[in-house]
Structure 1
Amino acid sequence: MGGVGPEVWIATADGRDMVRADAIVVVRLDGGRLTAQLRDESKQTVTLIDGSTGVHPPADFHRRLVRAVAELADSSGAQLVRAVRDGDRWRWVTEPL
């Protein structure tokens, strides 16, 4: 997600950590688990959705994340993107920090 302003952040699966969107180089959706590989020498990976809920996100959910981040790239102020599950539906929610 290179080129994205440093003011767009993505919440991790546990909700305790946030990752700058411009630090992500790969997002991977494997079953119900969505991970992001960070741009660093150790190629660290963080979990954005852990897959333990039993309700898998849609097959294009990682693409929806990229779209949400791209739409926020021109916004003013810091923004947070986080995954939310409503029953059987997954969606990305954005909010100001």
Structure 2
Amino acid sequence: MSGTVTEVWVEASGGHDIVRADAIVMLRLDDTGRLTAQLRDDAKVSVPLLEGSSDTRPPDDFHRQLIRAVAELADSSGGQLVRARHEGGVWHWVSEPL
């Protein structure tokens, strides 16, 4: 065992910010499809990961899909970036090495 720790990062809405996955303590998917992450800090900062839209709403379990993707990537090597994509009418999480 090498002792290296994989860092998984999640792209925030708009792609200008990224958040370390291990800093997220809560995910909230509201009725409009907006996905928000609450970060682990004293100020309880929330970061939008996906803006809501009635015509392109992600599936009801999209926040759970993110948790699954992060858990799977935690076993990979090197840093990973996860981002939401809407392609062909389907929402999914994609990852890429940093």
Report if TM-score (shorter chain) is over 0.5. Answer: yes
Give the structure-2-normalised TM-score: 0.90
The structure that has the greater radius of gyration is 2
**1:94 correspondence with 2:92:** no
2:35: which partner in 1? 34
Q: 1:83 & 1:19 partners in 2: Cα distance?
A: 13
Deviation at 1:87, TM superposition (A): 3.5
Q: What's the RMSD between the two structures over aligned residues? A: 1.3
1:48: which partner in 2? 49
- Counterpart AA for 2:28: R
Q: 1:45 & 1:34 partners in 2: Cα distance?
A: 10
Number of corresponding residues: 93
Report Cα offsets for 1:38-95 as digits up to 9, x if no partner. Answer: 0000000000100147310000000000000000111110000000001421000010
User: Do the aligned residues in 1 keep the contact of 2:6 with 2:76 (CA within 8 Å)?
Assistant: no
Structure 1 runs (4+) deviating above 2 angstroms are none
2:18: which partner in 1? 18
Q: For structure 2, which runs of at least 5 residues remain unmatched after alignment?
A: none
